[in-house]
Amino acid sequence: MKTILYYFTGTGNSLAVAKAISSRLPETELVPIPKLMLAGERITVPADANVGIVYPLYAMGLPKIVVNFFALLDLSPAGYVFSVVTEGGKSGSPTKQISALCEKSGHMLNAAWWIQMPDNYIPLSAPPEKSVEKTIRENALRKVAVIVEDIKNRQGSLAGFTAIGSVMKLMYGPFIRNIHNFDKKFVVSPSCNGCLICVRICPVNNIRPLPHGKKEWLHTCEGCLACLQFCPVEALSCGGKTANRPRYHHANATVEDMLEQKGSIETN
């Protein structure tokens, strides 16, 4: 049975989960959301397919790019629709939010799961120690194995955080309304080596290179922090505390993975 996994990732956590699901599920296709959003074309899923959305949790809700993606998506031919959210805490699936988007796109949400991955939002806190990070990743793979069996059986399971009231209004609403201007917080230090990795991997092409190694942010930011986390010389910071905090991206995530997410080809 055909399965399509649409994914969005900033540090590779959600991509790692999507890859883990696809490796255990026959006939699975991984499709990056940023690439489809840059194309801007209407997407109709195959008839009776399993359709999954894999994404990180942002302030108890969905990333803006994932919300906007549903406007392009026709889910009506699908046979089974599920979501998997990766997040740094111990629970947090915005089930009501994504359920409403699925129904508006033509199919009910049949299942929703959350998977804990290493916390990567360094404006608030440092990522976990490497030993803790490894344990979290191992536990995530065990949870993936259970989820895959439910997908194979088209099991209904709406698990995790479900409130969409006061918590969403206090945290998610203000955060997501201002997300495109999140880039105003970025500062480039003199250590920048001009490699332009930040420019190339940004999933929404939000960074423009300028002469003399300078950069301009275009205020279409998604707040994913890929530019900051993948900078090889840690030249980007976001707020005063991030300059001294370790950077994070999934151990198996590469610059090439981030380029593939937006349909780019690595150039030298």
At 23-52, the pLDDT tens digits run: 999 999 999 999 999 999 999 999 999 999
User: 113: which strand partners?
Assistant: 84
Each residue of 95-150: pLDDT tens digit? 889 999 999 999 999 999 999 999 999 999 999 999 999 999 999 999 999 999 99
Q: How confident is the model at residue 157 (pLDDT cuts 50, 70, 90)?
A: confident
Q: Find tokens 């790692």 and name the residue.
A: 16
Q: Does domain 3-166 have CATH number 3.40.50.1370?
A: no
SS (H, E, C) 125-172: CCCCCHHHHHHHHHHHHHHHHHHHHHHHCCCCEECCCCCCCHHHHHHH
Structure tokens at 30: 């991984």
* pLDDT band with cut points at 50, 70 and 90 for residue 58: very high
Tell me: domain 179-261, CATH 3.30.70.20, correct?
Answer: yes
Share of the chain above pLDDT 70, in %: 93
Whether 3-166 and 179-261 share one fold: the answer is no
For residue 101, the model assigns a pLDDT of: 97
**In which band, very low, low, confident or very high, does the pLDDT at 71 lie, cut at 50, 70 and 90?**
very high
pLDDT tier for residue 267 given thresholds of 50, 70 and 90 = very low
- Is the pLDDT assigned to residue 166 strictly greater than 70? no
Instruction: Report the alpha-carbon distance of residue 197 to residue 89 in Å, rounded.
Output: 29
What integer pLDDT is reported at residue 160 of this predicted model?
58
How far apart, in Å, do the first and last CA atoms of the chain sit? Answer: 40
3-state secondary structure of 1: coil
Quote the CA–CA distance of 166 and 60 in Å, as a whole number.
Answer: 11
- Which pLDDT tens digit goes with each residue over 193-241? 999 999 999 999 999 999 877 899 999 999 999 999 999 999 999 977 8
Q: What angle do CA 97, 98, 99 make, to 5 degrees?
A: 90
Task: Give the model's confidence band at 173: pLDDT under 50 very low, under 70 low, under 90 confident, else very high.
Answer: confident
Contacts of 142 (CB under 8 A, 6+ apart): none
Structure tokens at 79: 């046979």
**Can you give the pLDDT at residue 230?**
97
